[in-house]
Amino acid sequence: QYTHPNHSGEVTSTADGAQVIADDVVDEANLKVSNAPTNGYFLSAQSGNTGGLTWAEVSAAPTIQATADGALAANDPAIINSDGTVSKAATIAALTGAKAELDTNEPAAFDVVYDKTNNKIVACWVISAGGYVYATAGTVNAANNTITWGNKLTVYNSDSVIQIAAAATQNSNGEVVICWHRSTGGQVRAMSVRTSSSDNNLTLYDNGGTGELCIDRTIDTTNSYGNYRNLDLAWDTDKQTGMVIQCSLSSGKIFATGLCISGTTITSGVESQFTKSDGTQGGWTSVVVTWDEHNKKFFIAASRHADDDIFGATCNAHTTTGNDDLQNLTNLLPIAESIGDGYVRDIDYSLAEKRVMLHSLVNVSGWKHRLYLIDVASTLGTSMVKASVDVSDDWNSGVGCTTYNPNLKKWLVQVKESNNLKYSLVTNAEDSLTASTLLANFSSTNNGSALQVAYDPDTTRMVLVFRDIADGDDATGVVIRPIDSTLKEGNFIGFANAAYSDSATATINVVGNTTTKSSLTPGKKYYVQTDGTLSTTAGSPSVLAGIALSSTKLLIK
């Protein structure tokens, strides 16, 4: 009788049982691996390789994989797009669209606002011949950077209107309030128009044909087309009440009243008059107003030549919805001193920045367009001004306007310099202003006056309306896409691990990993710039790339 022996060694068996591999005996030499081992490598599954196993290097740090939208070079800074693809951070070139005429008649004054209810740009203007008031709505096409205007609506067809102001109420009706000053009789009146979701035409609510009488004073606004800003309007979007303010050149006094809308009817409140803290009433030459949504106050800025100063005042929000009386008006106090014979030109508020930007003309060693950054929450006076910057030293009849672009997180400042329309992008970083070099919209000689600009958040475009001197003095609109970048504060994710073609699966080294660069200074922080380069100086937006470990290696932060 035969008895099967027990097997021993790496393969064992007992009696005539199954052979098994002993514990703790299999080494690398027994494995079928596609490559030779290297110290520190790990065994990874690779189905296409010999034995389905490969020795591979452990990744230095985390990576992610995504589809490339456009080509990526090795070590390019990468952003994540809204569809989940990745791209190189890059500059988007500035673009000015084709001009779109609103009126063949010459406009004396403009205003323009954005109605968020129906995503419309609403422009209103006064023509020089006759002084009639007109308005229209427009829709921006982001694909070709143009605007299409609707039919011209006659708002007021009496005569002698020389100033105009508008404000979007931002209610569900798509209402825009239009105020104008009629020199004959010295009255300020208001009507409202409504936009439509179906077309670019407006509906007029005329308060009996002549509009609501807001301010009834014999007010002189001679020369208001150029240097002076004597009529302005702002709207409290919470309580749906407004404030209209006007300055008289002859008496030098400032008058204001509240407005509200009930159905299709505008009503105005008790007329108020602003004075200096010492009781002085006259000498004012220009005035503007804006609504500070964060602090829930109207902020008023005015210039007075007798003091060579710019003054400010506040007015609290209305206490109840539908209350058209202004509440808690303060006296005017200097906020910027020793500016020479200055004028306030435009004013705008940014909720993102929680700051007001005042665009003024100052005569300090020559005329300049100067911007003042204002914190309305500060104590009224010079402490309100947190920073200032000059954007142009070309007087050119004082033409200029300003609005905030939340997509760029910058203010766009439009001026006329060397007879051309130009704009500058102004950035606020921790209450420090910097202005870009002025960029020209048009090169036509003597082009443009009566400027106003609005921001369209639906298309992230700016719409400028102006008198086109180079084209028969027509009332004209144009769409501007300022220089931009695909890089934003929150979309930078890391650096490309290698070169990838469009639509390829790209590996991106992310936070905690490293990327290879050249000419780095160890220990220095580096920031991604809007064109995809790196710098030790933060750009706008400020995007930290990482810290240099050596002259060629950056630790991604």
DSSP per residue, 88-104: E--EE--EE---EEEES
- 49-76: average pLDDT: 88
**pLDDT at residue 59, as a whole number:** 64
pLDDT in tens, 220-229: 655 544 456 8
Distance CA 72, CA 499 (A): 5
- pLDDT at 67 > cutoff 60: yes
Tokens read off for 270: 């008790």
Q: With b meaning 16 or more CB within 10 Å and e meaning fewer, what string describes 401-440?
A: bbbbbebbbbbbbbbbbeebbbbbbbbbeeeebebbebee
Band the pLDDT of 8: cuts 50, 70, 90: confident
**Which string of DSSP letters, residue by residue, matches 239-280?**
TTEEEEEEE-TTT--EEEEEEEEETTEEEE---EEE-BTTS-
DSSP 500: B
Q: Answer for the pair 551, 521: CB distance below 8 angstroms, yes or no.
A: yes
Maximum mean pLDDT: which of 1-10, 429-438, 444-453? 429-438
Q: Looking at this protein, which amino acid is placed at residue 192? A: S
Residue 156's DSSP bridge partners are 133
Which amino acid is located at 103 in the chain? D
The sign one gets for the Cα dihedral 369, 224, 222, 102 is positive
Q: Which pLDDT score, from 0 to 100, does residue 258 have?
A: 94
Give the Å distances, CA to CA, from 16 to 9, 21, 214. Answer: 16, 15, 111
Reply yes or no on whether the pLDDT at 174 is more than 70: yes
What pLDDT digit, counting tens, does each position of 455-482 carry? Answer: 999 999 999 999 999 889 999 999 999 9
**Pairwise CA distance, residues 59 & 497, whole Å:** 11
Q: What is the mean pLDDT of the chain?
A: 90
pLDDT of residue 61: 75
* Residue in the structure block whose two tokens are 């005015």: 302
Between 522 and 443, residue with greater pLDDT: 522
- Alpha-carbon distance of 447 to 542, in angstroms, equals 36
- pLDDT given at position 19: 83
Distance from the Cα of residue 121 to its chain's centroid: 16
Question: Which residue in this structure is represented by tokens 């064992």?
Answer: 12
- pLDDT (0 to 100) of residue 60: 61
Q: Which class for 217: exposed (0-12), middle (13-18), buried (19 or more C-beta within 10 A)? A: middle
Residue range 372-413, pLDDT digits in tens: 999 999 999 999 999 999 999 988 778 899 999 999 999 999
Distance CA 341, CA 64 (A): 60
275-279 long-range contacts, Cβ below 8 Å, gap at least 24? 275/331, 275/332, 276/304, 276/311, 276/331, 276/332, 276/333, 277/331, 277/332, 277/333
- Residue 130 tokens, joined: 């006759």
Q: Is the bond preceding residue 37 a cis peptide, omega within 30 degrees?
A: no
C-alpha distance from residue 194 to each of 137, 169, 179 (Å)? 9, 10, 15
| Spatial CA neighbour of 454 closest among 108, 105, 176, 128 | 176
Per-residue pLDDT at 224: 46
HEC profile for 361-389?
A: EEECCCEEEEEEEECCCCCCCHHHEEEEE
SS3 content of the chain, % helix, strand, coil (to 5): 5, 50, 45
- Tokens 């439009």 belong to 414
Higher pLDDT, 330 or 279: 330
Q: Is 470 helix (H, G, I), strand (E, B) or coil?
A: helix
pLDDT at 308 over 80: yes
Two structure tokens written together for 384: 């309100």
Q: How far is CA 317 from CA 81, 236, 299, 325, 427, in A?
A: 40, 7, 10, 10, 28
Question: Would you give the distance in Å from CA 26 to the centre of its chain?
Answer: 66
For residue 207, give both structure tokens. 């308060």
Digit-coded pLDDT (tens) for 95-110: 999 999 999 999 989 9
- Is the Cα dihedral 303, 168, 126, 442 positive or negative? positive
Task: State the maximum Cα–Cα separation within the chain, in Å, rounded to a whole number.
Answer: 135
pTM: 0.84
